[in-house]
Amino acid sequence: MFEIPDLLREYDRARAYTDQLWTDLSADEVAWRPHENFSAIGWHLGHQAHVAHFMIRNLTAAEPSPDPELDPVMDSANPEPGRGRLPDLSRLAAFRADVADSIHRRVGAIRDGRVGAPRQLTIVAKTLLTALINHEYQHDQWIGEVRSGDLGHALPDRPKSDLITELDGYLVVCDPRW
Q: Count of residues for the chain? A: 178
Nearest residue to 158 via CA among 173, 137, 176, 142 = 137
Instruction: Tell me the CATH number at 15.
Output: 1.20.120.450
Any domain includes 98: yes
What's residue 81's pLDDT?
77
pLDDT at 175 over 80: no
- Residue 67: how many other CB atoms lie within 10 Å: 20
What's residue 34's pLDDT?
82
- 166's enclosing H/E stretch is strand 164-167
Nearest residue to 60 via CA among 130, 128, 136, 131 = 128
pLDDT band (50, 70, 90) for residue 37: confident
Q: Are 151 and 117 in contact (CB under 8 A)?
A: no
Any domain includes 178: no
What's residue 79's pLDDT?
85
* Distance, first Cα to last Cα, the chain: 10
Q: Which residues pair with 167 in a beta bridge?
A: 170
Instruction: State how many domains the chain has.
Output: 1
Backbone region of residue 90 per phi and psi (left: phi > 0; alpha: psi in -120 to 50; beta: other values): alpha
What's residue 139's pLDDT?
97
Could you tell me the residue range of the domain that residue 32 belongs to? 4-173
What's residue 82's pLDDT?
80
| Mean pLDDT value across the chain | 94
Q: Are 13 and 134 in contact (CB under 8 A)?
A: no
Q: What percent of the chain has pLDDT over 70?
A: 98
- pTM across the whole model: 0.94
Q: pLDDT by residue (tens digit) across 49-94?
A: 999 999 999 999 888 999 999 999 999 988 887 888 899 999 999 9
